[in-house]
Chains A and B, each alone.
Chain A
Amino acid sequence: MTDKDMLFDYLLRLGDNSLILGQRLAEWTGHTPMLEEDLALTNVGLDLIGQARMLLTYAGEVEGKGRDEDRLAFHRDTAEWRNLLLLEQPNGDFAKTMARQFFFDHFQYLQFEALSTSSDERLAGIAAKSLKEIAYHRRHSTDWILRLGDGTAESHEKMQTAIDELWGFVPEMFEMDATDEALLDAGIGIDVARLRPAWDAAVNAILAEATLARPEDSWSVRGSREGKHSEHLGYLLAEMQFLQRAYPDAKW
């Protein structure tokens, strides 16, 4: 791959993470347990989609083939997506949505904090802008982990189950491949593997306070960077892309 191809791929990974999770959160609209939470999840989703717009616009310009944010969002099939497997997992119950959010918010905060000093000024600017919002996302999901973990017997049970079910998706967040290494050397990318101790420290402390057990590391899955996804992504894309596929370039 050329330098340009690698930067394109790197930006897709970041943008796709934000867009897929944003789409998942949008699915909660009108279905959350209470009105305040309906507003919260859609607002977090909106922030994520805003990040995705900036990142995918930039990715399209780097690629130089005339694909804009919409083209990239609505006209790629599963194998071309680069989002983490964690983020495409179905919402499940509210506890599962919060566990997914909690793992990712803590990761993304560290990731964007590091990216905000990237030698790529445009990427650094996007990261710095988004970081302020992620700080609120992280507070919001952390509050729910504490409230549900250290809540009733039933909420505790549901929260622990959610944490256990998603734990195997955590290692992929901290994986480094050849593209990451090359961009790290160029001063553009960051070493996500080095973020793990900080993530562990924060997550361990919160799980302990929430009276939740940190799961044993047993199984784990990976593959999103090579376009290998779980079956769930296809269904998500079918819904998200339907309009643009059925009526290409439709505008309102």
Chain B
Amino acid sequence: MVTVHAADEILEILDLVKDPEIPVVSVRDMGIIRRVEAGGDRLKIVITPTYSGCPAMEVIERDIAAILKLHGLSDFDVETEISPAWTTDWITEEGRQKLHEYGIAPPANRGKAALMGQEAVACPQCGSSDTVLVSEFGSTACKALYKCRDCLEPFDYFKCV
């Protein structure tokens, strides 16, 4: 039976599903969960890809199904929607914090000069803003590679989209 609290409870369960490429953040932190539709006959989880070619989407879908089954749920569908397009603004404050602690500079907010490539990216290791872009594309399409001129460490920056 579906209770009125179902959607919140489901979201809490979904917090256990981590981003396969950045395992310190959950798919919920990343804004990949668009919404949970509870209350009907079947539960519906609507997710969104971060990038069109994101190879992690199928894994995420599988992980969501697995965790729901583990919690005794079986009548559910996981659907993908692309509109409106995912934006880095949907990454939660907690998610940004976790990215930073993991050594990935979180995305600057949109509206700044971010999309023009003029964002000032702070080094997640030492906090210095004296950093330089090494490559527009880092270990995955969603990240760029930077280098810190102070501590000399290279680091990933989660690009704004």
On whether the two chains bind one another, the answer is: yes
Chain A residues engaging chain B, CB cutoff 8 angstroms: 36-37, 39-40, 43-44, 46-51, 53-54, 121, 124-126, 128-133, 135-136, 139-140, 143
Chain B residues with CB under 8 A of A139? 117, 136
- A39 in contact with B135 (CB, 8 Å): yes
- B52 in contact with A47 (CB, 8 Å): yes
- A44 in contact with B137 (CB, 8 Å): yes
Query: What 1/0 mask marks residues of chain B from 41 to 73 whose CB sits below 8 Å from any chain A CB?
Result: 000000001011111000000000000000000
- A47 in contact with B53 (CB, 8 Å): yes
Beyond the given pairs A43-B140, A129-B83, A133-B141, 20 more chain A to chain B contacts, judged by CB atoms under 8 angstroms and listed by A's residue number, are A36-B135, A39-B138, A40-B135, A43-B137, A46-B51, A46-B141, A47-B51, A48-B53, A49-B53, A50-B51, A50-B53, A53-B52, A53-B53, A54-B82, A129-B49, A129-B82, A133-B161, A136-B159, A139-B136, A140-B137
- A50 in contact with B54 (CB, 8 Å): yes
Chain A residues with CB under 8 A of B139? 39
Please pick, from B52, B84, B115, the residue contacting A130 in the complex, using a CB distance under 8 A: B52
Q: How far apart are the CA atoms of A44 and B140 in the complex, in Å?
A: 10
- B82 in contact with A36 (CB, 8 Å): no
- B52 in contact with A133 (CB, 8 Å): yes
Which residues of B23-54 are within 8 A (CB) of A? Answer: 49, 51-54
- A135 in contact with B137 (CB, 8 Å): no
A69 nearest CB across to chain B (Å): 13
- A47 in contact with B84 (CB, 8 Å): no
Chain B residues with CB under 8 A of A129? 49, 52, 82-83, 85-86
Chain A residues with CB under 8 A of B117? 139
B118 nearest CB across to chain A (Å): 11
Count of chain B residues with a beta carbon within 8 Å of a chain A beta carbon: 25
- B54 in contact with A121 (CB, 8 Å): no
B16 nearest CB across to chain A (Å): 27
Q: How far apart are the CA atoms of A212 and B115 in the complex, in Å?
A: 26
B interface secondary structure, majority: loop
Chain A residues with CB under 8 A of B55? 46
B35 nearest CB across to chain A (Å): 16
Q: A125-B83, A126-B82, A128-B83 are in contact. Are A133 and B51 (CB under 8 A)?
A: yes
Which residues of B75-93 are within 8 A (CB) of A? Answer: 82-87
Chain A residues with CB under 8 A of B84? 125, 128
Chain B residues with CB under 8 A of A135? 115
Query: What are 22 A-B contacts defined by CB distance under 8 Å?
Result: A36-B137, A39-B135, A43-B137, A46-B55, A46-B141, A47-B52, A50-B49, A50-B53, A53-B52, A125-B82, A125-B83, A125-B84, A125-B85, A128-B83, A129-B52, A129-B82, A129-B86, A131-B85, A133-B52, A133-B161, A140-B136, A143-B136
Chain B residues with CB under 8 A of A50? 49, 51-54
Residue from A43, A50, A121 with most neighbouring chain B CB atoms (10 Å): A43
Question: Does B145 interact with chain A (Cβ within 8 Å)?
Answer: yes
Question: Does B22 interact with chain A (Cβ within 8 Å)?
Answer: no
Question: Does B120 interact with chain A (Cβ within 8 Å)?
Answer: no
Query: What 1/0 mask marks residues of chain B from 126 to 158 whose CB sits below 8 Å from any chain A CB?
Result: 000000001111111100010000000000000
A-B pairs, 10 with minimum CB distance:
A50-B53, A50-B52, A125-B83, A46-B53, A36-B135, A40-B137, A43-B141, A132-B161, A129-B85, A43-B137
- A51 in contact with B52 (CB, 8 Å): yes
Q: How far apart are the CA atoms of A104 and B86 in the complex, in Å?
A: 24
Please pick, from A43, A132, A140, the residue contacting B85 in the complex, using a CB distance under 8 A: A132
Q: A39-B139, A133-B141, A136-B159 are in contact. Are A121 and B83 (CB under 8 A)?
A: yes
B45 nearest CB across to chain A (Å): 19
Chain B residues with CB under 8 A of A39? 135, 137-139, 145
Chain A residues with CB under 8 A of B87? 132
